[in-house]
Amino acid sequence: MASLSHFLLYFFLFSFFLITGLASSNSSFLSDEIFESRDESTGRVLLQAKKACTENFENKNYTILTARCKGPQYPPVVCCNALKDFACPFADAINDLTTDCASTMFSYINLYGKYPPGLFSNLCREGKLGLNCTDVGPDPDDISYGVHTTVTHSTLLIITAGFIVFLLFHWF
């Protein structure tokens, strides 16, 4: 009976960590679908209202992008790296096609940068998954110049899970 209870304990712990690990993972790519035109004026389209974006793109720091990606040449490597540095911290929100995050972000990028239409969709292609965000740093607005005291949801989840495991091992 004791071996069955230990088996169940390990099974539930494994399942818990697997599910929490999958649930807390962030997007590592910006999907190519964010570049697609959403112009509903041509052809018939089912009217589906998009949810409002949870990110406030109006107040983001666009100088990360506009200071580096300048015309009239718009060098592809420089512009795409600048786009990734700006957009990758928001990859989860931008890739959610049920919201208006991608169109809102590009509206502000074009407003502040005065870029030609379709510039980034024509310049920035890396692969079938989209732009790779694995080598991009943290959100520039979140950079602190002192002791980093922010605790993410994943950290809290891991601490809680560790506490539960500790209690379970002392309980059995």
- The per-residue pLDDT of the chain, averaged, comes to 73
| pTM summary value | 0.56
Residue 171, pLDDT > 90, answer no
Q: Residue 45 to residues 48, 97, 103, 106: CA-CA distances in angstroms?
A: 9, 15, 17, 22
- What's the distance, CA 73 to chain centroid? 29
- Every domain of the chain and the residues it spans: 27-33+58-139
Structure confidence at residue 43 as a pLDDT band (50, 70, 90) = very low
Contact 108, 62 (CB under 8 A): yes
Instruction: Answer whether residue 159 shows pLDDT above 60.
Output: yes
pLDDT at 28: 61
When pLDDT is averaged across residues 18-32 and rounded to a whole number, the result is: 53
Residue 139 has pLDDT above 60, yes or no: no
| Residue 158 clears pLDDT 80, i.e. is over it | no
Q: What angle do CA 124, 132, 137 make, to 5 degrees?
A: 110
How far apart are the C-alpha atoms of 120 and 169, rounded to whole Å? 53
Name the percent of the chain lying above pLDDT 90.
24
